């Protein structure tokens, strides 16, 4: 069933319009006498209606870049454009208005106010934005129904599951119909089934409402639901040719663990797979990637990893190596050298426990 999220009068724009334009942005932190570059010369363009995932290891700069786009932090150099406006020149009042009306933020830890119900958490965003009481009630009810929580509106966060809390957080981010949603690890604390349902909801927002979404994630289960993936490493956004190695690795691991996923998760992934980019690598690409990751391997060894060893047919049957010596040489190339055990010394062979101490059963000769 497709989720329909109500809009709030946001004018439709061309798909080619740039909502986010990050140009050569860097962010430096000084800790004592040490300089730490969390983001280095990052450039990113995201059009209206795109769904983009920033991936990378912890500390790669994903969250810092997301905070720079949201105006929660200021770059050391470069600039961030939102809807054609340079927000790096905004004062704090202008940044507050930006986040209040044009940018929605979804936090990994949900960020819900614990003393307020699900309805009140969503309604509060509308109250801060200056909406009237009737508009607040209508909008909050619509959004909670859209994310499947109409029956849980009066429950407080501690009475909701992790997935339900994240749905409330998404509804709150949508309260003022922002054109841009930034989600920092929205499924980081959720199980795989709930994670897929959350990303399916975000996907529907993009398809049906033209909302632009930039998210960060470590969850490889849901990466196939995102049409565009950008990898960060050591504060840099990698070029497309640099990302191919990571992409094939993700695809390979998805296939390896797919059988272990619940059936409903597999069905959810299959339902939106047509919207994701298909970048299945060839054998040659996989071999090249393996050699790049492990330079000590030869091409034949890399092929062995994928079970694609090249064994060309011999010109004559007699040319096929069948000697035990050849087999031992081939086997030795893949087994670590284990030194032969040295025979016990005379002292070890005649070892006896101290007087009054019984020798353990495992140390006794079999004939005792």
- What is the arithmetic mean of pLDDT over 15-23? 79
Minimum mean pLDDT range among 28-32, 146-150, 215-219, 297-301: 297-301
- What is the arithmetic mean of pLDDT over 291-320? 56
Minimum mean pLDDT range among 157-161, 190-194, 216-220, 360-364: 360-364
Residue-wise pLDDT for 22-41, tens only, equals 999 999 998 888 888 999 99
Query: Which carries the bigger pLDDT value, residue 149 or residue 345?
Result: 149
CA–CA dist 304, 115 (Å, integer): 58
CA–CA dist 291, 91 (Å, integer): 50
Give me the phi and psi of 22, to 5 degrees please. Answer: -95, 125
Residue-wise pLDDT for 86-117, tens only, equals 999 999 999 988 988 889 998 878 889 999 99
Query: Which carries the bigger pLDDT value, residue 186 or residue 17?
Result: 186
CA–CA dist 42, 67 (Å, integer): 13
Residue linked to tokens 């025979």:
343
- What is the arithmetic mean of pLDDT over 134-143? 91
358 forms bridges with which residues in the sheet? none
Could you give the residue ranges of the DSSP H alpha helices within the chain? 62-70, 92-101, 118-128, 133-146, 162-173, 192-209, 240-257, 263-272, 283-293, 299-305, 324-332, 346-349
Whether the Cβ atoms of residue 82 and residue 19 lie closer than 8 Å to each other:
yes
267 burial class (0-12, 13-18, 19+ CB within 10 angstroms)?
A: exposed
**pLDDT for the residue numbered 187:** 81
pTM of this structure: 0.62
Confidence at 15, pLDDT banded by 50, 70, 90: very low
Q: What is the largest CA-CA distance in the chain?
A: 94
Confidence at 261, pLDDT banded by 50, 70, 90: low
Q: What is the number of alpha carbons within 13 Å of residue 200 lying toward its C-beta?
A: 24
110 burial class (0-12, 13-18, 19+ CB within 10 angstroms)?
A: buried
């Amino acid at each position: 069933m497709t989720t329909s999220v109500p809009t709030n009068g946001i004018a439709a724009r061309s798909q080619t319009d740039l909502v986010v334009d990050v140009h050569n942005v860097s962010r430096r932190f000084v800790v004592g006498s040490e300089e730490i570059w969390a983001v280095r010369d990052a450039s990113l363009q995201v059009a209206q209606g795109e769904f983009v995932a920033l991936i990378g290891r912890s500390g790669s700069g994903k969250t810092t870049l997301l905070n720079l786009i949201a105006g929660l932090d200021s770059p050391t150099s470069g600039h961030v454009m939102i809807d054609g406006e340079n927000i790096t020149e905004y004062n704090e009042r202008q940044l507050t208005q930006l986040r209040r009306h044009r940018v929605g933020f979804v936090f990994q830890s949900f960020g819900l106010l614990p003393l307020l119900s699900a309805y009140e958490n969503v309604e509060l965003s509308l109250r801060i934005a200056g909406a009237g009481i009737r508009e607040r009630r209508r909008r909050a009810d619509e959004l909670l129904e859209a994310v499947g929580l109409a029956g849980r509106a009066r429950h407080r966060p501690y009475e909701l599951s992790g997935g339900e809390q994240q749905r409330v957080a998404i509804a709150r981010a949508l309260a003022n119909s922002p054109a841009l949603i930034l989600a920092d690890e929205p499924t980081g604390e959720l199980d795989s089934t709930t994670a897929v349902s959350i990303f399916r909801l975000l996907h529907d927002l993009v398809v049906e409402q033209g909302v632009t979404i930039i998210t960060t994630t470590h969850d490889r289960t849901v990466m196939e639901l995102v049409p565009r993936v950008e990898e960060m490493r050591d504060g840099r956004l990698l070029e497309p040719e640099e990302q191919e190695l990571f992409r094939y690795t993700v695809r390979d691991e998805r296939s390896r663990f797919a059988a272990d996923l619940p059936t409903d998760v597999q069905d959810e992934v299959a339902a939106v797979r047509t919207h994701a980019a298909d970048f299945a690598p060839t054998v040659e690409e996989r071999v090249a990637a393996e050699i790049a990751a492990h330079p000590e391997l030869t091409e034949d060894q890399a092929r062995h990893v994928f079970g694609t060893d090249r064994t060309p047919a011999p010109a004559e049957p007699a040319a096929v190596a069948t000697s035990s010596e050849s087999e031992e040489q081939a086997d030795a190339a893949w087994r670590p050298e284990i030194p032969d055990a040295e025979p016990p010394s005379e002292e070890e062979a005649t070892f006896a426990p101290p007087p009054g101490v019984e020798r353990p059963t495992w140390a006794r000769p079999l004939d005792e």
